[in-house]
């Protein structure tokens, strides 16, 4: 094979590889997160609670009922929160009453979550209660962030540029561009 023919074959292979790469990047497959519980994603919290505590069928039924009440309550509170936020920003001057009610909604969410975990404790046996701190750790990672929780590596973009101007999670100070150049 002549050098010119070899070069033509190699250029053709490179073009085919580039086309394949572009198709792969354009179809969005790389953007999809892995299904829960696979590929490094933690399993859903419900599965973690049931698996860690090892609920029997009766306990699982009680847990499912508590979970349903909890989720219904959260849904109602979230609807109320959205409505209050719309009210708060609807006018040029903030609605301070809506602001106070938003604070009450957040407190109600905390109370609802506390009640749900108290119900889980009541369902559990003494042996299961020994593993309850693991359940709380997993729940707090989901609710507040932490290793494997929201805002951590692999769970969305890091927050940057706090009020102190320091970077967050390795980002540039103040959340600006790297290299200190001002935006154009």
pLDDT tens, N- to C-terminus, the chain (184 residues) = 888 888 888 888 788 787 777 777 766 555 555 555 455 555 688 888 888 999 999 999 999 999 999 999 999 999 999 998 888 888 878 778 888 899 999 999 999 999 999 999 999 999 999 999 999 998 888 888 755 555 544 444 444 444 444 444 444 444 444 455 555 5
- Residue pair 123/62 in contact (Cβ under 8 Å)? The answer is yes
H or E element that contains 67: helix 57-89
Instruction: Quickly tell me which residue has 């609802």 as its tokens.
Output: 112
The Cα 61–Cα 50 span in angstroms is 11
What's residue 6's pLDDT?
82
Three-state SS at 122: helix
What's residue 81's pLDDT?
93
- DSSP letters of 160-183? ---TT---STTPPGGG--GGGPPP
What's residue 91's pLDDT?
80
Q: Which of 158, 140, 136 is nearest to 149 (CA)?
A: 140
Residues 6+ apart with CB under 8 A from 19: none
Encoded tokens for 162: 């706090």
Ranges assigned E (strand) in 33-83: none
What's residue 56's pLDDT?
92
Encoded tokens for 170: 């390795």
Three-state SS at 33: coil
What's residue 162's pLDDT?
45
What's residue 127's pLDDT?
94
């Amino acid at each position: 094979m002549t050098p010119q023919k070899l070069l033509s074959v190699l250029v053709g292979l490179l073009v085919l590889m580039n086309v394949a790469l572009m198709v792969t990047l354009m179809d969005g497959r790389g953007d999809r997160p892995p299904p829960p519980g696979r590929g490094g994603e933690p399993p859903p919290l419900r599965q973690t609670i049931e698996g860690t505590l090892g609920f029997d069928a009766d306990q699982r039924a009680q847990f499912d009922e508590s979970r349903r009440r909890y989720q219904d309550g959260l849904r109602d509170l979230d609807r109320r929160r959205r409505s209050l936020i719309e009210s708060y920003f609807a006018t040029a001057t903030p609605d301070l009453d809506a602001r106070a009610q938003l604070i009450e909604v957040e407190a109600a969410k905390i109370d609802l979550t506390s009640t749900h975990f108290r119900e889980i404790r009541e369902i559990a046996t003494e042996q299961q209660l020994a593993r309850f701190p693991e359940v709380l750790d997993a729940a707090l990672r989901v609710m507040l962030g932490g290793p494997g929780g929201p805002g951590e590596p692999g769970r969305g973009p890091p927050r940057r540029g706090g009020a102190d101007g320091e970077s967050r999670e390795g980002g540039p100070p103040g959340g600006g561009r790297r290299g200190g150049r001002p935006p154009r």
